[in-house]
């Protein structure tokens, strides 16, 4: 039976699991999902842990294995009635999922996901997260204590109930910022193009290009369609880059580093 206790036991069993080699975005969770290398917070929480705990994967999920995109997961949670009322101030409990919005201007596309392991009287909460800085100095599955100011929303999976969560998790020191660089890096080996499966990275790029004034890129929806390709070609031509309509390391870097002209 899918319970909060099962989710937390499975998640805790992966603590310390990291990319191999560190910094590569290669993980067992990505290989299991079928998208590797890739940013893997959702592959860990919303695919691997979700299925290992016996939670049902609805027919409208990204794949039969669940979700690799935080935005698509949060959208599905809203559709299925799993989002906890109250937004970032919701009454939460261990086993709930939490979607984070790192950007200063909140939109409809969250950036990161974790699992609530414990709550604290001051409103903060301890999480278990994948693809986040851990005690070994690189991204891994690790505990974090998080405030609520960057929460996009909490999700309560369709648990069967009837089982208490594991004992409370001791509070640890606050984590370092999730993004340790001036802007998020495009993972090695990832290229954004038409029908790209890297929906979270597409959403980050869409958000950045809208901030640069490229409203023609359309909504921040994680889909790299004709509008994104067209804007990319125009941007590449303007900046003297190879015009191919795809976002690789050079175009990504230009979008974040070059001045707006």
Read off the pLDDT of residues 226-248 as tens digits, 9 standing for 90 and up: 999 999 999 999 999 999 999 99
Least trusted range by pLDDT, from 18-27, 54-63, 70-79, 81-90:
18-27
Residue 104: the pLDDT is 58
Q: How far apart are CA 81 and CA 113, in angstroms?
A: 18
Closest by CA position to 109, among listed 193, 37, 197, 202: 202
DSSP 82: -
Cross-strand bridge partners of residue 99: 113, 153
Cross-strand bridge partners of residue 140: 18, 132
Residue range 12-38, pLDDT digits in tens: 999 999 999 988 899 999 999 999 999
Average pLDDT over residues 56-65: 96
Closest by CA position to 101, among listed 82, 120, 74, 138: 74
The sign of the torsion formed by the CA atoms of 164, 166, 170, 174 equals: negative
Domains of the chain, by residue range, sit at 4-155, 199-257
Q: What is the pTM of this model?
A: 0.86
Residue 165: the pLDDT is 59
- Residue 141 backbone phi and psi in degrees, to 5: -85, 120
Q: Evaluate the omega torsion of the peptide bond into residue 21 and state whether it is cis, within 30 degrees of 0.
A: yes
> Cβ atoms within 10 A of the Cβ of 224, count?
26
Q: Tell me: domain 4-155, CATH 3.90.1720, correct?
A: yes
> Cβ atoms within 10 A of the Cβ of 26, count?
20
Q: Could you tell me which CATH number the domain at 199-257 has? A: 1.10.101.10
């Amino acid at each position: 039976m899918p319970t909060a206790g099962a989710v937390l036991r499975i998640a805790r069993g992966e603590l310390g699991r990291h990319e191999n080699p560190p910094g590569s975005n290669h993980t067992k969770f990505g290989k299991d999902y079928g998208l590797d290398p890739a940013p893997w917070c959702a592959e860990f929480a919303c695919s691997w842990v979700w299925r290992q705990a016996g939670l049902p994967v609805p027919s409208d999920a990204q794949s039969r294995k669940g979700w690799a995109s935080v935005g698509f997961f949060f959208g599905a949670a809203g559709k299925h009635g799993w989002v906890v009322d109250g937004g970032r101030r919701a009454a939460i409990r261990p086993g709930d999922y939490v979607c984070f919005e790192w950007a200063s201007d909140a939109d409809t596309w969250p950036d990161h996901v974790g699992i609530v392991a414990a709550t604290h009287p001051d409103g903060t909460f301890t999480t278990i997260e994948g693809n986040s800085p851990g005690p070994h100095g690189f991204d891994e599955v690790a505990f974090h204590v998080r405030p609520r100011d960057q929460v996009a929303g909490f999700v309560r999976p369709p648990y069967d109930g009837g089982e208490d969560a594991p004992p409370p998790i001791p509070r640890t020191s606050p984590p370092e910022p999730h993004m340790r660089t001036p802007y998020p890096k495009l993972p090695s080996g990832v290229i954004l193009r038409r029908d790209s499966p890297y929906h979270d990275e597409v959403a980050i790029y869409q958000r950045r290009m809208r901030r640069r004034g490229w409203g023609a890129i359309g909504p921040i929806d994680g889909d790299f369609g004709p509008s994104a390709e067209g804007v990319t070609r125009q941007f590449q031509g303007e900046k003297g880059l190879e015009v191919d309509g795809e976002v690789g390391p050079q175009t990504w870097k230009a979008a974040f580093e070059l001045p707006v002209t």
